[in-house]
Amino acid sequence: MAAEADAVQAQARAAELERLIHLGEALGRSLDLESIRDVVLQHLPKLADSDEAWVMLRAGGHWQALVGTARESRRDVERTREHIANRALMSEAARATSPVASEGQLCLPLTAGGQTLGVLGIPESAGPFTEGRQRVFAAAATLLAIAVRNAQLFQELRENSLRDGLTGCFNRTHAIEVIDTELRRARRSQQPVSLIMFDIDHFKDINDRYGHLCGDAVLAAVGSRMRDVLRGSDLKCRYGGEEFLVLLPETPLEGAKRVADTLRRELADMPIHWKDEMLTMTASFGVTMAMPSEVETEAVIGRADAALYRAKDQGRNCVRVSIESAVA
């Protein structure tokens, strides 16, 4: 009889280890949080023997639900889990990255690279939590934490490759890809999308008089001010040299013109400290809006560029709208 019980336990442990291996293999192929979520949704209920297991991730002082059943996606349940996760992470056991019992949940810190990234929670109803099962859950938490950290690093690497290192704005290649996508989306939704192109006035004179390091400081200041003034959803791009581009989703032409004029004034009022001098700068702006059903990125950018050069020809430090957009 004892031999039979031992055989059953051995089979159960072997099945758990096999499920853990499958989880690890699937996570190893996942390079973004979306695919990690899909993997966890598929494998965690089997591993935990519960449909109510959950994962909360912590980023920038905020909690984000990675996994929870549809009926448990309500905000009040998420707040409860945030509370449980916070209490669990404050415990001594969590500091040692050990499983923690907290308010009816077995909580396992997700720790990788010296950072606590979140919490894996398994309800007590999935118990009993034998020492062997806790080791399996701890291993699952480690695999999940490594996958999440790798996804974060991959995203950071991808973002860095798409950004201009000096200004923090996206580069030209990425901007064109995003504009292509937004134009297609705008065509389907029939929502407006506008584009601003601007150029720093007399930038060559700044480089010639003060040197290229000063020119770099001016460009960096422009990138910083763009982030201060524009929405998070607005694409900010260094298009080339001293030329910048802004994509404004769901923004009509008049709204884009107001945004351009606000940014123009902000740049003109922005002091730039260089050595013992205080410098100022201005910029010229061209604005356009995509035509209904328009999908040609080059045509939209070309109109914004033409409006920009009209602003240059008409005295600089001003905003001009493309004639075609005004007629449309």
Q: In the chain, how many H helices and how many E strands?
A: 11, 12
Give the whole-angstrom CA distance, residue 180 versus residue 196. 15
What span, in angstroms and rounded, lies between the C-alpha atoms of 202 and 279?
13
Among candidate residues 242, 250, 254, 277, the one labeled active-site is 242
- What is the spatial distance between Cα 48 and Cα 246, in angstroms, rounded to a whole number? 48
Closest CA to 322 of 56, 63, 294, 282: 294
Q: Does the annotation count 4 as an active-site position?
A: no
Is 235 strand, coil or helix?
strand
Provide the β-strand partners of residue 320: 286
Question: What pairing do the DSSP bridges indicate for beta strands 243-249 and 319-321?
Answer: unpaired
Give the separation between CA 92 and CA 6, rounded to whole angstroms.
34
* Catalytically active residues, by annotation: 242
